[in-house]
Amino acid sequence: MTTRPLAVLAFSGGMDSTTLAAHYRHRGYELLLLSFDYGQRNVRELEAARRIARHYAAEHHIVDLATVGALLPGSALTDRTVPLPTARVPEEARLSTVVPNRNAILANIAVAVASARRAALVALGIQAGDRALSPDCRPDFLDALRRCVTAALDGFPTPAVEAPFLGMGKAEVARIADALGAPLALSWSCFQGGELHCGECGPCVKRHHAMTEAGITDPTAYETEFWKETA
């Protein structure tokens, strides 16, 4: 009996990480999904992550980093005194939604788990559409992370670090999701934690535009449809 290789995924429960899970399952990997509670306002993404993990019958853990998030003032995602910007403001005004060093923190935890579990790889769902605001979604970050992992695990099991969507825009990710039957209807992108996606924050608008550009039906229910105002 052949044992399938293990892939450890940093897994938010959003559109990109859901497609990431579909990608590695399609390639024949066993999935270990790591989600992170870093004190973010919106815990709906963690509920989405649980549902998607069940969909793939994947091992899933939520890592408690809430005390870390409490030490990161100034980000609208972790600091409730900072208002959440909407897509109505210029993109540069949305810098407040960046959590400093977040992907580096989450990726290194995933690498440690992967080494201990002798996993084949760690995968991140970062894609080109997030580069403008987030330095840890850029190729230089991935290169540096790989060097760090190689040095930190010298002599120990060392997983590959992959980001298969790094050079893709979100529409291309949406096309892959559609081709692989990824359960995007279960995913959550919105910064808000309401019953429905708000339809006004940057992730909501990017989600809808990506599916529209990809030529697939957006299964998401939105409270408002901001993009109609800008059409």
Domains and CATH numbers, the chain: 6-228 (3.40.50.620)
Q: What is the pLDDT of residue 124?
A: 98
Instruction: Give residue-wise pLDDT tens across range 91-142.
Output: 766 778 889 999 999 999 999 999 999 999 999 999 998 888 899 999 999 9
The residue with tokens 């992170």 is 36
Token pair, residue 40, equals 């973010």
The residue with tokens 């992992």 is 149
Instruction: Give residue-wise pLDDT tens across range 45-81.
Output: 999 999 999 999 999 999 999 999 999 898 988 888 8
What would you report as the CA-atom Rg of the chain, rounded to the nearest whole angstrom? 17
Encode burial over 2-38: b for 16+ CB neighbours within 10 A, e otherwise: eeeebbbbbbbbbbbbbbbbbbbbeeebbbbbbbbeb
Task: Return mean pLDDT, the chain.
Answer: 93
